[in-house]
Structure 1
Amino acid sequence: MKKIFFSLFISFTLFLPAPLLAQEITETNTDEIYKLALKEYKDQDYERSLQLTIRGLELAPEYHDIRILQIRNLWALDRLAAADTDLDFLLEEAPQYVDVLPLVHQRVGRFSSNENTLSFLKKIAKIYPEDTGLEVKRAQILLKDKRRAEARDLAQELIKDRKLSGEDRYDLQIILNRTVSNEVGVTYSYINFSEAYKNYSRWHTVSAEYQHNFNRTAVIGRVNYTDREVNSGSLYEVEAYPVFNDRAYAFVNLGFYNGELFPEFRGSASFFYNFAKIFEGELGGRLISLDDQSYFSGVFGLTAYREKFYLNARTFVGPKRLDQVIQNYQFNVRYYFGNADNYLFSRLGSGISPDERTIYTQVKYPDLEAYYFTLGINKTLGLNHIFQVSAGYLTEDITGTIKGNQLMANLGYRYRF
Structure 2
Amino acid sequence: MRLKRIFIVMMCLPVIAAAQSEPGADELLVQARKTAFDQKNYPAAIRLCQQALKGSPDYTDIRVFLGRLYFWNDQTDSARSTLDQAVKGNPQHEDAAVAAASVAFFTDKYDDCISYCDGGLVHHPRSRDLLMQKAKCLTAMRRYRDAVILTDTLLSLNKSDADARDLAFKIKDFRSANKIGVSYDYTHFSKQFDDPWHLVSVDYTRQTSAGSFTGRINHTNRFGEGGWQFEVDGYPSIARNLYAYVNFGYSPDMPLFPKYRGGFSLYASLPRSFEADAGFRYLNFDSDTWIYTGSIGKYYKSWWFNLRAYITPSNHRISQSYSLTTRYYLGGADHFISASVASGISPDDRTQSNLLNSSYKLTTRRASAGYRFSHKKLNIFTFDIGYANVEYLPKTRDNQITGSVGYQRRF
- Name the TM tier (shorter chain): 0.7 to 0.9
State how far apart, in whole Å, the 1-side matches of 2:231 and 2:70 are: 55
Instruction: Read off the aligned partner of 1:136 and give its amino acid letter.
Output: M
For the structure 1 residues 122 and 363, does the alpha-carbon distance in structure 2 shift closer, same or farther, using more than 3 Å as the test?
same
State how far apart, in whole Å, the 2-side matches of 1:259 and 1:166 are: 42
1:15-26 alignment to 2 at 5 Å? none
Residue 23 of structure 2 aligns with which residue?
A: 32
Instruction: Read off the aligned partner of 1:329 and give its amino acid letter.
Output: Y
Residue 408 of structure 1 aligns with which residue?
A: 402
Deviations 1:234-256 (A, max 9, x none): 11101111122331111111110
1:114-153 alignment to 2 at 5 Å? 114-153=110-149
Query: Any conservation in 1 of the 2:101–2:113 contact (CA below 8 Å)?
Result: no
3-state SS, counterpart of residue 372 of structure 1:
strand
- For the pair 1:300 / 2:299, whether they are aligned, the reply is no
Query: Any conservation in 1 of the 2:165–2:332 contact (CA below 8 Å)?
Result: no
State how far apart, in whole Å, the 2-side matches of 1:391 and 1:50 are: 60
Instruction: Using the TM superposition, give the Cα deviation of residue 338 of structure 1 relative to its aligned residue in structure 2, in angstroms.
Output: 2.1
Instruction: Using the TM superposition, give the Cα deviation of residue 202 of structure 1 relative to its aligned residue in structure 2, in angstroms.
Output: 0.6
Deviations 1:108-150 (A, max 9, x none): 5455411111121111111221222321221211121122333
Instruction: Using the TM superposition, give the Cα deviation of residue 164 of structure 1 relative to its aligned residue in structure 2, in angstroms.
Output: 4.3
For the structure 1 residues 175 and 245, does the alpha-carbon distance in structure 2 shift closer, same or farther, using more than 3 Å as the test?
farther
State how far apart, in whole Å, the 2-side matches of 1:414 and 1:366 are: 37
State how far apart, in whole Å, the 1-side matches of 2:380 and 2:262 are: 28
Query: Any conservation in 2 of the 1:324–1:366 contact (CA below 8 Å)?
Result: no
Deviations 1:176-200 (A, max 9, x none): 3333211111111111110x22x43
3-state SS, counterpart of residue 212 of structure 2:
strand
Query: Any conservation in 2 of the 1:170–1:305 contact (CA below 8 Å)?
Result: no
- For the pair 1:333 / 2:333, whether they are aligned, the reply is no
Instruction: Using the TM superposition, give the Cα deviation of residue 371 of structure 1 relative to its aligned residue in structure 2, in angstroms.
Output: 0.7
Instruction: Using the TM superposition, give the Cα deviation of residue 333 of structure 1 relative to its aligned residue in structure 2, in angstroms.
Output: 0.7
Residue 169 of structure 1 aligns with which residue?
A: 165
Query: Any conservation in 2 of the 1:314–1:329 contact (CA below 8 Å)?
Result: yes
1:217-256 alignment to 2 at 5 Å? 217-256=211-250
Q: TM-score, normalised by structure 1?
A: 0.83
- For the pair 1:346 / 2:342, whether they are aligned, the reply is no
Instruction: Using the TM superposition, give the Cα deviation of residue 29 of structure 1 relative to its aligned residue in structure 2, in angstroms.
Output: 6.4
- Which residue of 347, 352, 356 maps to 2:349? 356
Instruction: Using the TM superposition, give the Cα deviation of residue 401 of structure 1 relative to its aligned residue in structure 2, in angstroms.
Output: 1.8
For the structure 1 residues 366 and 331, does the alpha-carbon distance in structure 2 shift closer, same or farther, using more than 3 Å as the test?
farther
State how far apart, in whole Å, the 1-side matches of 2:48 and 2:160 are: 37
Residue 262 of structure 2 aligns with which residue?
A: 267
1:313-392 alignment to 2 at 5 Å? 313-320=307-314, 323-360=316-353, 361-392=355-386
State how far apart, in whole Å, the 2-side matches of 1:67 and 1:401 are: 73
1:197-236 alignment to 2 at 5 Å? 197=192, 199-236=193-230
Aligned-pair identity (%): 25
Query: Any conservation in 2 of the 1:50–1:74 contact (CA below 8 Å)?
Result: no
* Count, aligned residues: 381
Residue 277 of structure 2 aligns with which residue?
A: 282
Deviations 1:36-74 (A, max 9, x none): 5765783524674455234212xxx55455444554566
3-state SS, counterpart of residue 398 of structure 1:
strand
For the structure 1 residues 138 and 348, does the alpha-carbon distance in structure 2 shift closer, same or farther, using more than 3 Å as the test?
same
State how far apart, in whole Å, the 1-side matches of 2:169 and 2:30 are: 39
Instruction: Read off the aligned partner of 2:113 and give its amino acid letter.
Output: T
State how far apart, in whole Å, the 2-side matches of 1:328 and 1:49 are: 56
Instruction: Using the TM superposition, give the Cα deviation of residue 170 of structure 1 relative to its aligned residue in structure 2, in angstroms.
Output: 2.7
State how far apart, in whole Å, the 1-side matches of 2:128 and 2:62 are: 28
State how far apart, in whole Å, the 2-side matches of 1:47 and 1:358 are: 60
Query: Any conservation in 1 of the 2:362–2:392 contact (CA below 8 Å)?
Result: yes
Query: Any conservation in 1 of the 2:184–2:199 contact (CA below 8 Å)?
Result: yes
State how far apart, in whole Å, the 1-side matches of 2:144 and 2:106 are: 22
Instruction: Using the TM superposition, give the Cα deviation of residue 216 of structure 1 relative to its aligned residue in structure 2, in angstroms.
Output: 4.7
3-state SS, counterpart of residue 274 of structure 1:
strand
Instruction: Read off the aligned partner of 2:184 and give its amino acid letter.
Output: Y
